[in-house]
Amino acid sequence: MYDVIIIGGGPAGLTAGLYTSRARLKSLLIEKGFLGGQVMTTEWIENYPGFEDGISGVELSQKMEKQATKFGLEIMQGSVTGVSLDGKTKKVKLEDGSELEAKSIILATGSNPKPLSIKGEEEFRGRGVSYCATCDAAFFKESDLAVIGGGDSAVEEGIFLTKFAKTVYIVHRRDQLRATKVVQERAFENPKIKMVWDSVPEEIVGDATGVTSLKIKNVKTGEVSELKVQGVFIYIGYNPNIDPVKDIITINESNYAVANENMATSGNGIFAAGDVRAKPLKQIATAVGDGATAAISAEKYIEENF
C-alpha cells in the first residue's frame, strides 16, 4: 500500500510529490498525459519566481519532475477512472482495470480551458491562440487582439490585455455581458476595448507568422466579417478534471473540489491541490503552494490515522 497516491502531474502534483517523498512517505504520482500539465503547453513563463529571464514551459516541467523524482517519488503513466473508500483505505482504479491502494490521496488533476472547437484553434494554439492572458499578454505589445466570452474571466482578462495591446475586441455571443457589473463598467470605460456583440467565432485564420485574423458571424444578421487580430484569447469557461472523485467529495456548482486552507476535502484523507480546487487565482505559483500544503496535510493525516 502506498502512503500517498497523487493524481495529476502538473505543478501542484509534482510539488506534492517532492514534499511527500522528502517526508519519506511511499509516494506514487499517476499522470495520464505528460508531466507538467498545462505548463507544458505554455511557450514561455515570465511570472514564476526564480527565473528572472523567464523559462519555457517544457524546461520548467522537466525541472520540477527531476526535483520531485530525486527524492524517490514514483511516477506512473495511467488514467485514473475512479477512487473509492474501503474503510480508511483508498482504492484507485485505473483505465486498464488494475487497482492500487493508498492511505491518502492528493487530487491534482487540474482543469482544462473549454475549447471553442473551431477551425484554426488547434493549429494556432501557442502561436496566437491562448487561454491565459496572464501568461501570454506580454507577447502582444501594440497588437490587436480578440477575447472570446462575456464572463468575468473574459472581461477581466480583456482589461488586463489592454496594458499591452493596442485594441482588444471582446467578442460575445449575446448583447449583454455575464461578467459582474463593476467589471463591465471598467470595460466600457476603457478606450482600448471594443465590444463586438451578438457574434460567434467561426474560424481563426493565420500563416507562418501566427494568427492574422478571426472570422466572426453575427448571430442576428448572419453576416460574416473578419477582425484583423494577431491574438485570440479564449475564455468560455473551464472544465475541472473531477470525474474520478466527484461522488466521494464535495464539489461546488462549477464542479471544482471544495477544500479548506489545509487542502482537505470532505473525503477523509483526500486532499485537493492546484487548478482542480475551488479558488480565486489559478497560477503555477498558487498551484505549488497548494501542493506543498496538501503534502504536509497528508503526512499529518497518516500519522494520526494509521
For ligand NAP, the binding residues (CB under 6 A) are 116, 148-154, 156, 173-174, 178, 200, 235-238, 254
d(CA 78, CA 155): 37
Three-state SS for 128? coil
Residue whose CB is nearest to ligand NAP in the complex, by number: 151
Q: Which is nearer to ligand NAP, 25 or 257 (CB)?
A: 257
CB of 113 to ligand NAP, least distance (A): 8
Active-site hit among 3, 135, 144, 290: 135
Residue 83 cell numbers, joined: 477512487
Q: Which is nearer to ligand NAP, 51 or 160 (CB)?
A: 160
> Given the C-alpha cell 462549477, which residue does it identify?
254
DSSP β-bridge partners for residue 89: 86
> Given the C-alpha cell 500539465, which residue does it identify?
37
Q: Which is nearer to ligand NAP, 70 or 119 (CB)?
A: 119
Phi and psi at 12, nearest 5°, equal: -65, -50
Is 132 among the residues known to form the active site? yes
Is 86 among the residues known to form the active site? no
Is 136 among the residues known to form the active site? yes
> Given the C-alpha cell 527531476, which residue does it identify?
66
CB of 172 to ligand NAP, least distance (A): 6
d(CA 210, CA 222): 27
Q: Which is nearer to ligand NAP, 171 or 288 (CB)?
A: 171
CB of 237 to ligand NAP, least distance (A): 4
What is 141-168 written as a DSSP string?
A: TT-EEEEE--SHHHHHHHHHHTTT-SEE
d(CA 78, CA 244): 13
CB of 162 to ligand NAP, least distance (A): 17
Active-site hit among 3, 53, 136, 207: 136
DSSP β-bridge partners for residue 200: 217
d(CA 10, CA 36): 4
CB of 177 to ligand NAP, least distance (A): 7
Q: Which is nearer to ligand NAP, 80 or 276 (CB)?
A: 276
DSSP β-bridge partners for residue 264: 271
Q: Which is nearer to ligand NAP, 101 or 122 (CB)?
A: 122
E-strand ranges in 78-230 read: 80-86, 89-94, 99-107, 111-113, 129-130, 144-148, 167-171, 193-196, 199-207, 210-218, 224-227
CB of 79 to ligand NAP, least distance (A): 26
Active-site hit among 132, 152, 198, 243: 132
Q: Give the active site residues.
A: 132, 135-136
